[in-house]
Each structure stands twice: as C-alpha cells, then as structure tokens.
Amino acid sequence: MSHQITNYDGGIVTCPQQLVYAETVNQIQAIMKDPVRFPGPVRAMGSFHSLTPCASSSGTIINMSSMKRIIDIDETNMTLRAEAGLELVDAAKELRSKNLQFVTNVEIGNITLGSAACCQTKDALDSGQVDSHVIEIKWVDPSGQLRDASITSNPDLLYRMRSSYGLCGVIYEVTFKLEPLAAIRLTYFLRNVTNLTEKEISAITSSNEGIICWTLGSIAVFECRNSTPKNDSRTRWLANVRADALELYCTLRRAL
C-alpha cells in the first residue's frame, strides 16, 4: 500500500510505502530500527512547502508536523528550544509576545525548524542563513540511536549537521539563538519590467538594508526593508495588510 502526498501547490507528488505521523522520539527510533516494516529511504517531512522533491521517498516518510512543542524560551540567554515540526511563523508569533525574534527571518514562514536547522539554503537578505544561528541539534541516526551536537559540546559535528539536509538522520529538537524584537519600515516600489534598468535596480538595492522582489504580470514589486522606531504605526499597518494578502493568496492557491 502506498500513500500519495503533494506539496502545498500540488506541483510535487510522492508516494511512499509508509507514512507515519511521529508524535514522540521513541516512535522515530522504532521506525529507524525496523527496516522491514519501514523500508528506506526514510525521510522526514515538515510542512512540505518546498517546490522541490526534497522530502520525496518511495520507502518511508515521517511527517513531523505533530512534534511542534516549544520546550523552552530562555529570555536570559536569548534562546529558543523547540521540537523540529514547529513552523517558523508559529514560533515567531510566540517570540513576539515576549519581545524576541529569530536573528534571521526568512520570507517562507511555513518552513519547520527542523528544515531550517539543517538546510543551508534557508537565508535572508539582511542577516545571513537561518541555520548559522542554531546552537544545538538533537536527532535520531539511521541506526535508531539518539545523537546530540551543540556549539559547546561538539561544534564541528554541529557545523556539519547545519548543512546535512537531513541525510544524517531525523532531527527532532533544535535550539536557536534569539535577539530583541526589532521593528522595520516597509517601502514599496512598483516598476514596469520592460522599462526597468540595471542602474535603477542597483540604486534600490544599495540604498536599503533588505529587499524582497516579486512580479505581478509585467510589474516588479520591490519591498524595501529598513530599521525604524518601534512606534511607527504606519509600518505595522502595512505589514499586517501584506500578511493578510499573502495568507489569502496561499489559501486560494491551495483551493485551486
């Protein structure tokens, strides 16, 4: 028996023989120790928001979405410890209530912390890669044994795990460094793609701290990000409008 799974927009389809929704570390260990019942390749899956078949498997897929508990927010040492299935956006909302945030905030908030911790492709224009701020990773290796690497106990192994893409086992817990919540100002520039020059693009990129760009038909939309005082209510309003628009867009895409 196989299961058919698709990513968020239906562009990627995978059909594993076994699909398991892990709720505990012991369940992950049992899967790794039983290759007859749970044939390889064994791959962990988060939100499956990716547009690539990175979580595809003809063997076993472990869906980590049920393991999304925040274990600890240490406001003194500025760290977040959580299970790997927690989505970045949900963690960020909880941190915001404590005036904290991740050091690096990426555009795709639906990625899970497990994916963000071991895939060096998850980066932002303003502060580098997400996994560079991971200080501890816990995982189940292919033999079913529990492993742990941190910035203090085994930094070399931690560095390798940060770019392992899940090939060393199934990550079940991660710890991120945090920083105080910071406000940004959002400014939008709309330009016709056919008239857009390299000089104009260079001017926009050099005069802003961070930029996200996307296209709507023939129109290029530049969202420019810069630091701003926290009492800038206009920025907060713009951010909320954009968040609502993106949520509506994603809902419509899933419905089609």
Predicted confidence at residue 129, as pLDDT, reads 82
- The residue-averaged pLDDT of 60-86 equals 96
- Of residues 72, 66, 113, 65, the one with CA closest to residue 89: 113
113 touches 174 (CB < 8 A): yes
122 touches 87 (CB < 8 A): no
Predicted confidence at residue 12, as pLDDT, reads 86
Predicted confidence at residue 217, as pLDDT, reads 83
Predicted confidence at residue 31, as pLDDT, reads 97
pLDDT band at 244 (very low <50, low <70, confident <90, very high): low
∠ CA 83-86-89, nearest 5°, is 145
The CATH architecture annotation of domain 70-180 reads: 2-Layer Sandwich (3.30)
Token pair recorded at residue 201: 């693009």
pLDDT reading at 55 higher than 70? yes
Place of tokens 């926009």: 204
Mapped onto helix, strand or coil, the DSSP state of residue 84 is: coil
Q: How far apart are CA 93 and CA 68, in angstroms?
A: 14
Which residues does 19 contact at the CB level (< 8 Å), separation at least 6? 3, 5, 60, 61, 63
pTM: 0.79
Q: Which amino acid is at 252?
A: L
Q: How far apart are CA 230 and CA 22, in angstroms?
A: 40
Q: How far apart are CA 70 and CA 207, in angstroms?
A: 38
Provide the pairing of β-strand 5-6 with 13-14: antiparallel
A 10 A CB-CB count for 235 gives: 19
pLDDT band at 117 (very low <50, low <70, confident <90, very high): very high
106 touches 133 (CB < 8 A): no
Between these two residues, 202 and 248, which has the higher pLDDT value?
202
pLDDT reading at 106 higher than 80? no
Ordered by start, the domain boundaries in the chain are 5-63, 70-180, 184-255
Work out the mean pLDDT of the chain and round it to a whole number: 86
- Burial code (b: 16+ CB inside 10 Å, e: under 16) for 165-197 equals ebebbbbbbbbbbbeeeeebbbeeeebeeeeee
> Which CA distances in Å does 109 have to 1, 87, 179, 243, 248?
33, 7, 18, 11, 15
Q: Which listed CATH number (3.30.43.10, 3.30.930.10, 3.40.50.1970, 2.40.110.10) goes with 5-63?
A: 3.30.43.10
Token pair recorded at residue 131: 């996994």
pLDDT band at 6 (very low <50, low <70, confident <90, very high): confident
Lowest mean pLDDT among 12-16, 68-72, 207-211, 237-241: 237-241
User: How far, rounded to the nearest angstrom, does the alpha carbon of residue 58 sit from its chain's CA centroid?
Assistant: 24
Q: How far apart are CA 62 and CA 169, in angstroms?
A: 11
pLDDT reading at 188 higher than 70? yes
